[in-house]
Amino acid sequence: MRIIALTGGIACGKTTVAGWLREAGAKIIDADAISRELTAPAGEALPLLRQAFGDGVFHGDGSLDRAALGKIVFGDEAKRARLNGILHPMIRTRMEEELTVCRKTGASIVVLEIPLLFEAGMETLADIVVCVSASQEVQIKRLQSRDGLSRKDALARIRSQWPLAEKERLSHEVIRTDGPMEEVYGSVMRLYQRLVKGALNDPIATHLP
């Protein structure tokens, strides 16, 4: 079984790339989906979040007010670290459990989609790290279009994560999504074929396309 960690910057196209890999036959384990489960009503993380951030990040019905929590953590590095300190260990445990299932069921290629891979120290879960990257201007435009953010808020979201250049440096492969989607798709499919053939054993960064 080959385990691939898929990471990158916000609004760089990680989910799109993961979707293409799923269609090609890879098993996807999504850190964000696990996080949503942990923070859903009656989720395992809710008591710890209430203890850490108070009742102000919860709706009257007891569900998490994600917008309120986001405003707190994106503007405060210490509080963001506290949030990550709660969620990241839980996410890692869930991923390890799912990887165990994948091994038992004979999965060939498993992709861990983890936006904060290096920040969380989860790169050790994978054999190969692939970074999905785009220019900052492309990130800003996508955040403005997708999430309705102002330029200032979009920049704050981008800067709350590790610099993309550092993520690229630490990755084995880099896929850029600035260009036409058909070109990006072709790069992803070529990458997948190399994974299938076992041609990505050496940690040598390759920038695609």
**Residue ranges covered by each domain of the chain:** 2-208
What pLDDT is stored for residue 209 in this prediction?
43
Residue 75 binned pLDDT confidence (cut-offs 50, 70, 90): confident
Domain 2-208: state its class: alpha beta
Asked if residue 79 has pLDDT above 70, the reply is: yes
Whether 108 has a pLDDT exceeding 50, the answer reads yes
Instruction: Give the per-residue pLDDT at 200.
Output: 60
Long-range own/partner contacts, residues 90-98 (CB < 8 A, 24 or more apart): 90/34, 90/38, 90/44, 90/45, 91/31, 91/34, 91/35, 91/38, 91/120, 91/122, 92/120, 92/122, 92/125, 94/34, 94/37, 94/38, 95/29, 95/31, 95/34, 95/122, 95/125, 96/125, 98/29
Predicted confidence at residue 160, as pLDDT, reads 84
pLDDT at 201: 54
Residue 207, pLDDT above cutoff 50? no
Write the pLDDT tens digit of every residue in 160-202.
889 999 999 999 999 999 999 999 999 999 999 998 887 565 4
The pLDDT-based confidence of 206 (bands split at 50, 70, 90) is: very low
Share of the chain above pLDDT 90, in %: 87
What is the percent of the chain with per-residue pLDDT over 70, rounded to a whole number? 95
pLDDT band of residue 64 (cuts 50, 70, 90) is very high
Q: What average pLDDT does this structure show over 143-160?
A: 92
Instruction: Output the pLDDT for position 202.
Output: 46
